[in-house]
Structure 1
Amino acid sequence: MQEDAGVHALPIAIEYGGREITITPTVVETERGLVLCDVGPDGAVDGLRTHLRSLGYELADVWLVVLTHHDGDHVGGLAELLEHVDAVVATHRDEAPYVSGERDPVKGDGDRYSPVDVDIELVDGVRISTLAGPMEVVATPGHAPGHVSLYFPTGNLLVAGDALVADGDEGTDGEHERSEREPLAGPKPQFTPDMDRAIESVGALAALEIDHTLCYHGGYVDQGSDRIREIREQLRE
């Protein structure tokens, strides 16, 4: 898989919701240590540790965790991770109440992960200095109230979270099937409470200069702005 210098995808196969899925957290190198973008569900920490060691790091090198949104498959393992690392937790201000336990997750059956305090509440346009250049927070609500994606203008790389996916359609029986369409696609309607806002968010991403995309579900895709514009037009039909 192609990677920008200092940005590493961490694909992990894990049991979640009664089935095995592959998730793709991302780690970004900075002068201070590592920024981890999303954690994964409960049980993901061992996989994170293995990946980081292969890169020459340990869990303790993570100083900042940036959460794209509060869904359990992104945040469920955070409490366990914080048992091993003294990291700052950051997410969009509209996601913070769900992560901290002030509100129940938008999706789910009431069985939630362990709440965790949020140290920094992010807003659109915030930039974090990394060895891959600035990492810019891009507000992409719709899949979740305060969903964010992360954009690296130096390398024209987008870490999309769940604003875009690359793992094909998910059928009603819960089984993943590879889509016949282009590998990069819009957010899945069945998991996106506010599809109108999600489509607007795809439009916001289409305005950026993107050459390649890293999706939490589907991993790295060698596609960017042109394909995202196509997705926006398809979703508007």
Structure 2
Amino acid sequence: MSGARVELLTTSGVFALDGGEWEVDNNVWLVGDDEEVVVVDAAHDADAILAAVGGRRVVAVVCTHAHNDHVNAAPAVADAVGAPILLHPDDRVLWDTTHPDRAPDGELADGQTVAVAGTGLRVLHTPGHAPGAVCLYAPELGTLFSGDTLFRGGPGATGRSYSDFPTIVGSIRDRLLTLPPDTVVRTGHGDSTTVGEEAPHLQEWIDRGH
């Protein structure tokens, strides 16, 4: 039986892309127990994230994608605790715009499992919002960490560089809506939802995207 739990920290800062800037609140997810954690999306505030980690061992700083608001605190957090930063290689083009002098430490691959506190986070490559976007599925916790791929009410944004609407719709249809309906979807911004809540709504998006 896994002793892992999910903790939420919300941080605030600026999302910058294509010459624009927007004030945003980001969800930083910690998955683990009293001994060790995985940090999902180290956003904006390294000190706040390190305070939430406390004295626990950080297994990895996992990036669901490399938009700056999801990775801007990743090097500071990782270097402070000696943890690797993991990113899907298809998002290096975005990562390098934020951290040109610091490469990620390891690559995420579809089907890979990141183990922490007796549970596993399975990597699902879900391009569309970004080329290397991934979601993390923890079946034992009944939870999906969706980054900016799926939100309460629909898909993530696809109006900016390196994003594509038909691709994100396909990712959601094929990779996420196939999960159990009661799976809790913990998003990169805003409120959580479930696969079952979103499936009927998303069908309309899928039909519209064809």
TM range (shorter): 0.7 to 0.9
- What residue in structure 2 maps to residue 48 of structure 1? 49
Q: Give the count of matched residue pairs.
A: 199
- The alpha carbon displacement at 1:39 in A equals 0.6
SS at match of 2:198: helix
When residues 228 and 50 of structure 1 are mapped into structure 2, their CA distance, relative to the original with a 3 A threshold, is farther
- What is the aligned counterpart of 2:171 among 181, 191, 201? 201
Aligned residue identity for 2:199:
I
Counterparts of 1:30 and 1:139 in 2: how far apart (Å)? 26
- What residue in structure 2 maps to residue 220 of structure 1? 192
Aligned residue identity for 1:67:
C
- What residue in structure 2 maps to residue 142 of structure 1? 128
Counterparts of 1:32 and 1:94 in 2: how far apart (Å)? 32
SS at match of 1:69: coil
> What does 1:1-237 align with in structure 2 at a 5 Å threshold?
5-16=4-15, 20-29=23-32, 33-41=36-44, 44-52=45-53, 57-58=54-55, 61-96=57-92, 98-99=94-95, 101=96, 104=97, 112-131=98-117, 133-165=119-151, 183-191=152-160, 193-203=163-173, 204-211=175-182, 212-221=184-193, 223-237=194-208
SS at match of 1:234: helix
What is the TM-score of this pair, normalised by structure 2?
Answer: 0.82
The structure that is helix-richer by fraction is 2
Counterparts of 2:91 and 2:15 in 1: how far apart (Å)? 21
Q: Is the 8 A contact 2:128 2:158 kept in 1?
A: no
Give the CA RMSD over aligned residues: 2.5
What is the TM-score of this pair, normalised by structure 1?
Answer: 0.73
SS at match of 2:24: strand
Counterparts of 1:217 and 1:164 in 2: how far apart (Å)? 10
Aligned residue identity for 2:82:
D
Aligned residue identity for 1:187:
G
Which consecutive residues of structure 2, in runs of 5 or more, have no partner in the other structure?
Answer: none
When residues 216 and 132 of structure 1 are mapped into structure 2, their CA distance, relative to the original with a 3 A threshold, is farther
When residues 88 and 141 of structure 1 are mapped into structure 2, their CA distance, relative to the original with a 3 A threshold, is same
Which consecutive residues of structure 1, in runs of 5 or more, have no partner in the other structure?
Answer: 105-111, 166-182
SS at match of 1:189: coil
